[in-house]
Amino acid sequence: MATVLLLSSCSLVSISPYDSSADKAITKLHKQTAEFFADSANVANEPGCGYPHHLPFYQNSKVSISGLLVRANAMVDNHLTVSQLKLLSSSYENLAQLHQLGCFIPAQVSELWMSFDASFSAIFRLELAKKYGR
């Protein structure tokens, strides 16, 4: 009886398998985002600091996230990855809106990068857990 109760209290979460293509795409997007923040820290309050100067970054990020979401949604039991990617997508949208208000100052760049880095770290942890079965 105790065994039945113990087993019924445990639930397994079904999760999709590791996707090396998605892992590579996420790694590439992380690198592009890191470069964006490094550039933003270097050009704060200079002529190239505005949103229009960085429009290609925002467009590329939107396309990358869209592709990742389509791929993630196509996989069975991939709800965790999808939700993390949706949060990351929302972060890019919020970043673009903030940037349209004006150039970033170095303190903002640092705080924003920490937030993005935390999101990417969560996605990487999940993908590595899938890869190594943890």
pLDDT in tens, 25-69: 999 999 999 999 999 988 877 888 999 999 999 999 999 999 999
Question: What number of other Cβ atoms are within 10 A of residue 113's Cβ?
Answer: 17
Domain count, the chain: 1
127 located within any domain? yes
DSSP state of 77: T
Q: Which amino acid is at 1?
A: M
Q: Which of the four pLDDT bands, split at 50, 70 and 90, describes residue 5?
A: very low
In a domain, 74, yes or no: yes
Q: How confident is the model at residue 124 (pLDDT cuts 50, 70, 90)?
A: very high
Is 1 inside a domain boundary? no
Domain annotation covers residue 76: yes
Residue 34 belongs to what H/E stretch?
helix 20-42
The model's pTM is: 0.86
CA distances from 129 to 45, 71, 99 (A): 41, 18, 34
Residue 116 in any domain: the answer is yes
Share of the chain above pLDDT 70, in %: 90
Task: Flag whether pLDDT at 11 surpasses 70.
Answer: no
Q: What is the pLDDT of residue 46?
A: 83
**Residues 64, 126, 128: CA angle, nearest 5 degrees:** 95
Is residue 97 in a domain?
yes
Cβ 24 vs Cβ 111: under 8 Å: no
What is the per-residue pLDDT for 13? 56
What does the pLDDT read at residue 49? 92
- Residues 6+ away with beta carbon under 8 Å from 66: 89
Indicate the pLDDT class of residue 16, thresholds 50, 70 and 90: confident
Residue 8 lies in a domain: no
Q: By residue range, what is the domain housing residue 71? A: 14-132
Residue 109 lies in a domain: yes
Please report, for residues 44, 82, 96, the alpha-carbon distance to residue 111 in angstroms, rounded to integers and kept in the order given: 14, 24, 15
Tokens matching residue 5:
């109760």
